Amino acid sequence: MLNRLSSCFTDEKTKSHLMLDKLVFVNAMNNNDPEMEELKNSLSKTIIENPQWEQKVPKQFLILEMMLAMLVEEGKYIISHEDVEKINTQMGVKPLSEAELELFLRVQNICGKMTYIEYPNLRNFIVINPTCLIDVLKSIVTSMPDASSLYQGRITKADLKKIWKSKQFAHFLQHEEYFRQLLVHYDILSEIKRYDKESGRTISDECYLVPCMITNRNETTFVERHLKTSKCVGFVFEFKALDVPDAIPSRLIASVISIWNIRRYENVELLFPGFVAVALDRKHDLVVRTERNTVAVYIIHKERKELIIKDLASSVRQCLEQNLARISEVYTFSFSSTIASKKYVPFEIKFKHGCLSQECVLDAGDIDGNQTALICDNHGYKTPKSELDIWYTDRAVLQCTDSCQDAVLSMLPNDAQLLRICNNLTKEEVRILAVNLGVSNPELDSIDTDSTSMLKFYSLRICREKNKSCEDFVKAMEAADINGHTMCQ
């Protein structure tokens, strides 16, 4: 039976947390079940075998813990780090050193007696009565507040403040910023940042995605009519682990909503559990949805997939890949002591065959070694190599065509050309180019965005707003030792 139980868990990371040395069958209806005593002895043995068992700690730990417990009895549930430092000096014995005090807080957090998060925007407060966090969760989930946006899976900062102004939750208002950040840290909320399309600055009205509240089913015909072979191309982020936290794709979806507007179809916003569709422009839509242990990404053209702009697809792929990598870094800092460059949940990109089946994906290496079409083994569908190359723009110098000569040079660059430059240049190269085109450093520093792709695009758009032509761009690139044909098709 132990072998059968073990075979249910195929992921090595999950197996490392299992204790399958012995099976104990407990009858919960019998208070005198002898197996219960055996289970207690087994747990006691496991605790004693822990390397930290009987580890000596300063006696001040016990005194400080008792003093904080007295505050809980008085009705306090949260205090500042500064208050803990003051209490530490008022114990009547030699106070703990700074390092010992940090160790005390970590131990209390591990034991569940307090909540102390060593994160820049959370470490200034300690929840000394963690049971209050149940009420924090109830305030936006169980208690079902009267906020219409919450029923669509979103809640604004103003909505949250309104909820906490109610009599039942009013005691959270004093520390609303801390509890809001704590909900983000625990992935109850996923932050959505909105940007002004003209300036690139963050819009002050903060909004959050509440994944657990998105329950509406997709009853529209959008998937049947548009997510099909003739109209779209796709790729997937495939996670190597099988037990990927739901918060990772939720955070990616939140970042997608931060950049683009949710698509409305048949008078319904296309945001559902593990699924979102956004409008890239008048002709292109982007769909992100979870499929097993992958996040699938599709770009749809309203007419046919052959008309999808290559630079747009490449920029979308790059933007989402960078966002997912950053999300993975956040989890590395939060849950792992390993090197930051090592992803907490490793992933790789695979490309979908033209049949769009979940099982039919290609490694990047399979594409590089093929110059014509790739045939799907399951369905026999022929996918042209050009359809797969759309996700990566070629950095090689192309032959000049009419698109970069004569009268065309006097025109202002369009969005597609700006995206092509962004995709081929680094952030530093774009900044140098913008400065060469007459944009001041204060203007560039005033762009408020966390996305590298958006920062590059907004920088170049400022240049265009200064009526800089394609010829001006070419001259500025040559002055910066950048290939002048970067804008070429």
Place 149 in a pLDDT band, splitting at 50, 70 and 90. low
Question: 3-state SS of the chain: helix, strand, coil percent to 5?
Answer: 45, 15, 40
Which has more confidence, 226 or 27?
226
Query: Residue 480: helix, strand or coil by DSSP?
Result: coil
Averaged pLDDT for residues 262-284: 92
Answer yes or no: are the C-beta atoms of 71 and 128 closer than 8 Å.
yes
Answer yes or no: are the C-beta atoms of 81 and 123 closer than 8 Å.
yes
In sign, the C-alpha dihedral spanning 37, 47, 186, 18 is negative
**Residues 173, 108, 141, 320, Cα dihedral to 10°:** 100
User: What pLDDT score was predicted for residue 96?
Assistant: 92
Tokens of 208: 């959050």
Question: How distant is the alpha carbon of residue 480 from its chain centre?
Answer: 35
User: What pLDDT score was predicted for residue 378?
Assistant: 78
Answer yes or no: are the C-beta atoms of 468 and 412 closer than 8 Å.
yes
Question: Which of the 8 DSSP states describes residue 201?
Answer: P
Nearest 5 degrees, angle CA 321-CA 323-CA 329? 105
pLDDT digit string, tens, across residues 82-115: 999 999 999 888 999 999 999 999 989 988 889 9
- Burial classification of residue 28, based on how many CB atoms lie within 10 Å of its CB (0-12 exposed, 13-18 middle, 19 or more buried): exposed
Question: How distant is the alpha carbon of residue 458 from its chain centre?
Answer: 22
Averaged pLDDT for residues 361-369: 71
Place 417 in a pLDDT band, splitting at 50, 70 and 90. confident
Tokens of 37: 């005593």
Closest CA to 468 of 425, 419, 433: 433
Closest CA to 41 of 58, 55, 22, 60: 22
Query: Measured between alpha carbons, how far is residue 227 from residues 222, 343, 364 in Å?
Result: 7, 31, 23
Closest CA to 471 of 432, 415, 413: 413
Express as a percent the part of the chain with pLDDT over 90.
26
Show the DSSP H helices in 74-164 as ranges: 81-88, 98-111, 132-140, 157-164
Write b or e for each residue in 136-161: b if 16 or more Cβ atoms lie within 10 A of its Cβ, otherwise e. beebbeeeebebeebebbbbbeebbe
List phi, psi (to 5°) of 431: -65, -45
- Would the pLDDT of 221 be above 60? yes
Place 356 in a pLDDT band, splitting at 50, 70 and 90. confident
Tokens of 100: 């010992």
CB contact set of 393 (below 8 Å; sequence gap of 6+): 310, 311, 314, 420, 423, 424
List phi, psi (to 5°) of 448: -105, 95
In sign, the C-alpha dihedral spanning 219, 221, 222, 226 is positive
- Domains defined along the chain, listed by start: 2-48 (no CATH), 60-127 (1.10.10.10), 132-192 (no CATH), 216-389 (3.30.310.50), 402-479 (no CATH)
- Would the pLDDT of 306 be above 60? yes
User: What pLDDT score was predicted for residue 397?
Assistant: 36
* DSSP states of 437-470: TT--HHHHHT---S-HHHHHHHHHHHHHHTT--H
Averaged pLDDT for residues 140-147: 62
- Would the pLDDT of 73 be above 50? yes
Q: Residue 108 and residue 115: Cα distance in Å, rounded?
A: 8
Q: Residue 23 and residue 200: Cα distance in Å, rounded?
A: 59
Q: Which amino acid is residue 450, in one-letter code?
A: D
Answer yes or no: are the C-beta atoms of 266 and 248 closer than 8 Å.
no
pTM to 2 decimal places: 0.62
How many Cβ atoms from other residues are within 10 Å of residue 57's Cβ? 12
Tokens of 351: 């490309």
Question: Which of the 8 DSSP states describes residue 349?
Answer: E
Query: Residue 296: helix, strand or coil by DSSP?
Result: strand
Q: Which amino acid is residue 115, in one-letter code?
A: T
**Residues 357, 359, 365, 370, Cα dihedral to 10°:** -50
- Would the pLDDT of 337 be above 50? no
pLDDT digit string, tens, across residues 432-468: 999 999 999 888 988 877 778 888 888 998 998 888 8
pLDDT digit string, tens, across residues 28-71: 788 788 888 888 888 888 878 776 677 777 889 999 999 999 99
Tokens of 144: 């079902």
Question: Which of the 8 DSSP states describes residue 95?
Answer: P
Answer yes or no: are the C-beta atoms of 227 and 287 closer than 8 Å.
yes
Query: Residue 378: helix, strand or coil by DSSP?
Result: coil
Answer yes or no: are the C-beta atoms of 480 and 429 closer than 8 Å.
yes
pLDDT digit string, tens, across residues 372-382: 677 887 777 88
Place 284 in a pLDDT band, splitting at 50, 70 and 90. very high
Q: Residue 394 and residue 417: Cα distance in Å, rounded?
A: 14
User: What pLDDT score was predicted for residue 55?
Assistant: 72
Place 169 in a pLDDT band, splitting at 50, 70 and 90. confident
User: What pLDDT score was predicted for residue 365?
Assistant: 66
Tokens of 159: 């909505």
Beta bridge partners of 79: 126
Q: Residue holding tokens 């530490």? A: 88
